[in-house]
Amino acid sequence: MPKFRKRIPRRRNVVKIARHYSEHRKNLKEDFNHRCGYCDSHDGFRRAHYEIDHFIPKKYLKETFTKPEEYKDKEQEYSNLVYACRSCNNAKRNKWPTKSMDVCHKDNVGFIDPCKSEYDDQFDRKDNGEIIAITELGKWIYKELNLSKPEHRIIWLLDEINKTIHEIEKMIINKPAGNRKKLEEIHYKLLLNYHKFHNELMEY
């Protein structure tokens, strides 16, 4: 069974206050390895631009920091930002069940910052790329983020097939012309599968 994700995202230490949190997009994209912090889908396969989620939602921040200048500073705090696909961002939105700045989950209800290794402990993947929850808290997050959506599975498959295609292409280049047939057959089958899943993804 493959791991839920191969790399845990790490935010850099950004202390500079930007005019708007969207100015952090480039850094977030790099820090999150071009992947959604919640579902780990690579942004190269999505038609919609990736968005910036506030781990502690903006709505809750506004209720907590009533002074405009305090809210603005907190809204742009880099440590609270998550690079997220539109699907996960829309699913999470203003959900913050603990109603506490200092507690992100309690009694198996709530969220985990995807930059923490604890997030990976909640999930696994099937061989077909489907995400599965393996803890009670993971089941709650899974349901609230709609991680059962087929697009998460399809993007994982596309990513894996794409990597294998590139590996096969390197092997073909380094093989003598007379020994390439088997590799070329595998390459062709991979391309067919890639296009199959790519067309399937266009339905979502």
The verdict on residue 4 lying in a domain is no
List 110's β-bridge partners, or say none: 105
- The verdict on 125 and 168 lying in the same domain is no
The verdict on residue 117 lying in a domain is yes
- The verdict on 54 and 129 lying in the same domain is yes
- The verdict on 81 and 54 lying in the same domain is yes
- The verdict on 144 and 173 lying in the same domain is no
- The verdict on 136 and 189 lying in the same domain is no
- The verdict on 32 and 131 lying in the same domain is yes
- The verdict on 112 and 30 lying in the same domain is yes
Nearest partner of 95 among 65, 53, 130, judged by Cα: 53
Which residue spans within the chain are E strands per DSSP? 51-54, 81-84, 105-106, 109-110, 123-125, 131-133
How far CA 201 is from CA of 48, 101, 119, 140, in Å, comes to 12, 37, 26, 26
Query: Residue 132 — φ and ψ, nearest 5°?
Result: -130, 140
**pLDDT score of 203:** 79
- The verdict on 101 and 187 lying in the same domain is no
The verdict on residue 92 lying in a domain is yes
The verdict on residue 11 lying in a domain is no
pLDDT above 90 (res 136): yes
Query: Residue 190 — φ and ψ, nearest 5°?
Result: -65, -40
pLDDT above 80 (res 109): yes
pLDDT band at 5 (very low <50, low <70, confident <90, very high): very high
- The verdict on 42 and 106 lying in the same domain is yes
pLDDT above 90 (res 179): no
- Choice among 105-114, 130-139, 167-176 with the minimum mean pLDDT: 167-176
> Taking CA 193 as the corner, what is the angle to CA 39 and CA 2, rounded to the nearest 5 degrees?
40
Q: Domain residues for 188? A: 152-201
List 53's β-bridge partners, or say none: 82
Q: pTM (2 decimals)?
A: 0.91
pLDDT above 90 (res 17): no
Do 101 and 56 touch, CB atoms closer than 8 A?
yes
Q: Which of 148, 165, 180 is the last residue of a domain?
A: 148
- The verdict on 76 and 114 lying in the same domain is yes
**pLDDT, tens digit, 9 for 90 and up, residues 60-94:** 999 999 898 889 888 999 999 999 999 999 999 99
The verdict on residue 16 lying in a domain is no
- The verdict on 66 and 96 lying in the same domain is yes
User: How far apart (Å, rounded) are the C-alpha atoms in residues 128 and 153?
Assistant: 7
User: How far apart (Å, rounded) are the C-alpha atoms in residues 117 and 199?
Assistant: 33
Within a 13 Å sphere around the CA of 144, how many CA atoms are in the beta-carbon half?
A: 19
Consecutive H or E run containing 139: helix 136-144
Tokens describing residue 18: 């930007």
The verdict on residue 193 lying in a domain is yes
**pLDDT score of 6:** 93
**How many domains are there within the chain?**
2
The verdict on residue 8 lying in a domain is no
The verdict on residue 3 lying in a domain is no
**pLDDT score of 170:** 92
**pLDDT, tens digit, 9 for 90 and up, residues 24-60:** 999 999 999 999 999 999 999 987 889 999 999 999 9
- The verdict on 39 and 113 lying in the same domain is yes
**pLDDT score of 46:** 84
